[in-house]
Structure 1
Amino acid sequence: MKISTTRRGSTLVEGPRRVLLYSGSYNHITDGVTLTLNRLVAYLESIGIEVLVVAPTSRNPELDHAGTLVSAPSIPAPGRSEYRVGTIITPALRHRMTSFKPDIIHVATPDLLGRWTMRFARRKEIPLVTTYHTDFSSYLKYYNLDFLENWLLGYLRYFYRRCDIVCVPSQSMIDELRGRGIEGNIRIWARGVETDRFSPLHRSVEWRRQMGVADGIPLITYVGRLVQEKNVHLLIETHKRLKQQQIPHKLMIVGEGPERERLQEALQDQIFTGHLNGKDLARAYASSDIFFFPSTTETFGNVVLEAMSSGLPSVCSVATGSSDLVVDGITGFLSPIDQFEIMTEHIAELVIDPVLRKAMGRNARFEAEKYRWEIILGKMLDYYKEAAQTVHPHVRPPRTPVAVS
């Protein structure tokens, strides 16, 4: 059996044997981050790697989690109580993390407990990988917290330059971070999609009729959390403009969140499904005709990729994530968020022209084939192995080599 020794003295058998993952969310809420991390943990365990997950939990988790999960102290996130912020390290939690003896530490959230975990990795001279899932600074304006931007950017610079590898989901996110002065060994770790699950084959005319979509009427769909930072108010504006132009359509909104009540009041004759998953979500995508996603706060845009895999053309904002997935004019359209008239024109064009709609949908499906999960998950294992061979500039290497027999 081949044994390699890192320059910090960690002993690895064909790569890491034990991975410690800290995340601010893992099973208490369902979103792109939690689904991605659970899939990663399941993959690591399937190839014989032991994983210990440390994360805030709740009494009513939304996900059946993968891996061994240890609950971390936390408080509700300000303004977004459905999310939680890891806070302090308890003696019991410190003991559990230390006795696990991880070969790799992976931090997915740079909150208070994420900071402690980062410093724990540095003190213990354990290779440290982090994944950048949330563009925190872009959220500030939606909660009147712009005055915190300089402080937040300073903290993020401090945090990420102490990591061996920083994984972001797209090239546009790398450009965004470097433009803010966040440097380091930044690599791309995209997200994947189950192309068999999210497929045009799941389209159902019967389901459309059950949902109240008349035959021949294009169905425009949004999938995501109903929160203001996703620019969901533009769903209302889009519907109004199409209606004013007498363009037949139906709008379907898939998801839950604090903005649902306001949206339902303004869109009383449209479809609200609530949260969907599994086969129900796959069928909803495939039975739609156009995907509309105006968010500008994504780091990747998992739902855009799911829509593409389902054979839908997408109309999205020019933003990190979406801009890396949608090929403008080929698989859909990209529009600046401050030029909403152009965005509406693109949607109207797809509604009116079924030939263009279907051609872009076929192109989108072809593009989505490049993002199969088996390729994406294996890439993270490569990054773990690379991190194990890296000496972080802020960490002293061991004074004497560790002998391996």
Structure 2
Amino acid sequence: MTRVLHILDHSLPLHSGYTFRTRAILRAQQADGLEVRAVTGQRHSADGPEVETIEDMTFHRTPGAASGPAGLREWREVNALAEAVVATARVWRPDVLHAHSPALCGLAGLKAARTLGVPLVYEIRAFWEDAAVGNGATHEGSLRYRITRALENRAVAGADSVMTICRGLREDLIARGVRPDKIGVMPNGVDLGLFGTPLPRDAALAGELALGDGPVIGFIGSFYDYEGLDDLIAAMPQLIAEQPGARLLLVGGGPMEQALRVQAEASPAAFAIHFAGRVPHHEVERYYSLCSVMAYPRKRSRLTDLVTPLKPLEAMAQGRIVAASDVGGHRELIRDGVTGALFPADDPPACARALAALLSQAEAWPRIRAAARAHVAEHHDWARNVRRYRDVYEGLLAPAADAGARTAAR
């Protein structure tokens, strides 16, 4: 049985899109007959033992915390994580190392793979230099941006195989000179076993939030600038003019929360905009039950054009109608008029028109829901897609197996 040791920035019990994708991968690989474990780096901030079992998955932690000036601190992180991977591998004996972005994990995986003499798969979920721009931590072309990009390129060059979560990232790597046959795609996905019959509308929660009986436009997630929630708020007066009973429900929090609240309070549609704050993960389905349409108005940028988000897929799997801006990451997931609606990015009036059109065509919702769920089942179900990993691993392990067989035959 093939053993795979995953190398991660952080993991459960922390909750993030990163940890949920990891959980889905590990669970699907276990169901596919692989043995899996994971090692997290020093940025995993949850307290816990050095070896932790969560939901039947085993995580090894890298002890300590890196210190020092920028650059030296990150290199110490890489070395500490590489040492933790090697220590775990010497006991558990994995056949393959599978590192997941950021590049620090890829570089740690590369050091460990060379020490252990096992192949390395490096998986890119986003280019972290672009994510830092999207989060407002730096700007494109800065020294930090260029260093992060160079480290990414180094990890990609050293890995035996590279996986990306979407075509946009793959095409960008090819443009950098990476061989196309070295790069596979493992799309963002969902565990359809987690999504049964959607909950009926939670009338008590709707009353508590004063949403009324009209349609609700929802967003559940992190409030980053690139999510475009300011455009969604700016679209509300026009939407209310066409659909007076419509309401906007924003669930979550993040760097833009205060600015968004100020914007909403100054809006002519302030009465129709509701902030629910952050909610416990086990309560999220109740909030989804209130939403007629889930809106994802991402702004256009390198990050949003190259990377496919997870939230629209989860909404489609739960039978929710999805409306999203037409950035590249959304176009990979949604067919306009078939599995959801797309509208021009960075354009609040266009967003309002698309939402109003969806709300006026409720008779089409069953068809859209069915098409969206079928699309997710065919293209984004982890139980099906996880077999792509097995093909990659077997391709990397085959030369070593053939060499062993030839040696044994002598």
Does 1:172 find its partner at 2:165? no
Residue 79 of structure 2 aligns to a residue whose secondary structure is: coil
Residue aligning to 1:191: 188
The offset of 1:171, in angstroms, is 2.4
Q: For residue 251 of structure 1, what is the aligned residue in structure 2?
A: 248
Kindly indicate whether the alpha-carbon contact (under 8 Å) linking 2:6 and 2:97 is maintained by their aligned counterparts in 1: yes
Gaps in structure 1 of 5+ consecutive residues: 1-12, 79-84, 392-396
More displaced 10-residue stretch of structure 1: 187-196 or 67-76? 67-76
When residues 375 and 72 of structure 1 are mapped into structure 2, their CA distance, relative to the original with a 3 A threshold, is farther
Other-structure match for 1:373: 382
Q: CA deviation at 1:107?
A: 0.5
For 2:16, the equivalent position in structure 1 comes to 31
What is aligned with 1:351? 359
1:108-257 aligned within 5 A:
108-141=100-133, 142-148=136-142, 149-183=145-179, 185-195=182-192, 197-199=194-196, 201-206=198-203, 207-215=205-213, 217-243=214-240, 247-257=244-254
Q: Deviations over 1:37-90 (max 9, x none)?
A: 1232234445361424233322458x94631322355569x9xxxxxx944327
Which moved further from structure 2: 176-185 or 102-111? Answer: 176-185
Over the residues paired in the alignment, what is the CA RMSD in angstroms?
3.4
SS in 2 for 1:214: coil
Measured after TM superposition, the shift of residue 246 of structure 1 is 6.1
Cα distance in 1 for partners of 2:404, 2:193 equals 51
Taking the aligned partners of 2:19 and 2:187, their CA distance within structure 1 comes to 15
Mapped partners of 2:65, 2:177: distance in 1: 29
Equivalent residues of 1:28, 1:60 under 8 A apart? no
Does the residue aligned with 1:88 lie in a helix, a strand or coil? helix
Partner of 1:81: none
Identity of paired residues, percent?
19
Of residues 39, 46, 58, the one that matches 2:45 is: 58
The answer to whether 1:383 aligns with 2:392 is: yes
State the distance in 2 between where 1:300 and 1:277 align: 25
Deviation sequence 1:244-270 (CA, Å, 0-9, x none): 656431111222322223323333543
Closer, same or farther in 2 for the Cα pair 1:32/1:92, shift >3 Å?
closer
Q: 1:92 to 1:193 in 2, by over 3 A?
A: closer
Shift of 1:124: 3.2
Amino acid at match of 1:32: G
Deviation (angstroms), 1:115:
0.7
SS in 2 for 1:67: strand
Instruction: Report matched runs for 1:270-349 at 5 Å.
Output: 270-276=273-279, 280-295=283-298, 297=303, 299-349=307-357
Whether the aligned pair in 2 keeps the contact of 1:55 and 1:71 (CA below 8 Å) is: yes
List per-residue Cα deviations over 1:300-322 (Å, max 9, x = no partner): 22110111112222221223432
Q: Distance in 2 between matches of 1:44 and 1:366?
A: 22
1:199 deviates by 5.0
Partner of 2:198, secondary structure, is: helix
Which is further off, 171-180 or 366-375? 171-180
Q: Are the counterparts in 1 of residues 62 and 80 from structure 2 also a CA contact under 8 Å?
A: no
Q: Aligned equivalents of 2:87 and 2:198: distance in 1? A: 50
Q: Of 252, 261, 266, which aligns to 2:258? A: 261
Question: Where is the helix percentage greater, Structure 1 or Structure 2?
Answer: 2
SS at match of 2:22: helix
Deviates more, 1:315-324 or 1:221-230: 315-324
Q: How many residues align?
A: 376
Asked if the contact 1:110/1:159 (under 8 Å) is kept, the reply is no
Q: CA–CA distance in 1 between the matches of 2:406 and 2:40?
A: 30
Shift of residue 172, structure 1, vs aligned partner = 3.2
Q: Deviations over 1:319-353 (max 9, x none)?
A: 34321111112122223424443233211211233
Secondary structure of the structure 1 residue equivalent to 2:158: coil
CA contact (8 A) 1:88 1:112 kept: no
- Conserved? CA contact 2:224–2:254, under 8 Å: yes
Shift of 1:191: 2.8
Structure 1 residues 112 and 226: alpha-carbon distance in aligned structure 2, compared to 1, 3 A threshold: same
Distance in 2, Cα, partners of 1:90 & 1:152: 18
Aligned equivalents of 1:272, 1:402: Cα separation in 2? 66
Deviations 1:263-311 (A, max 9, x none): 2333354333334465532333243111111235352221101111122
TM normalised by structure 2 equals 0.78
Describe the SS at the equivalent of 1:192. Answer: coil
What is the distance in 1 between the residues matched to 2:83 and 2:153?
30
Partners in 2 of 1:152 and 1:91 — Cα distance?
A: 18
TM superposition score normalised by structure 1: 0.79
Q: CA deviation at 1:234?
A: 2.1
> Do the aligned residues in 2 keep the contact of 1:73 with 1:87 (CA within 8 Å)?
no
The 1:64/1:123 distance shift into structure 2, 3 A limit, reads: closer
Does residue 69 of structure 1 match 2:60? yes
Flag the 1:200–1:95 CA change in 2: closer, same or farther, 3 A.
closer
Call closer, same or farther: CA 1:390–1:154 in 2, change over 3 Å: farther
Decide which moves more: 205-214 or 119-128.
205-214
| Distance in 2 of aligned mates of 1:267 and 1:60 | 37
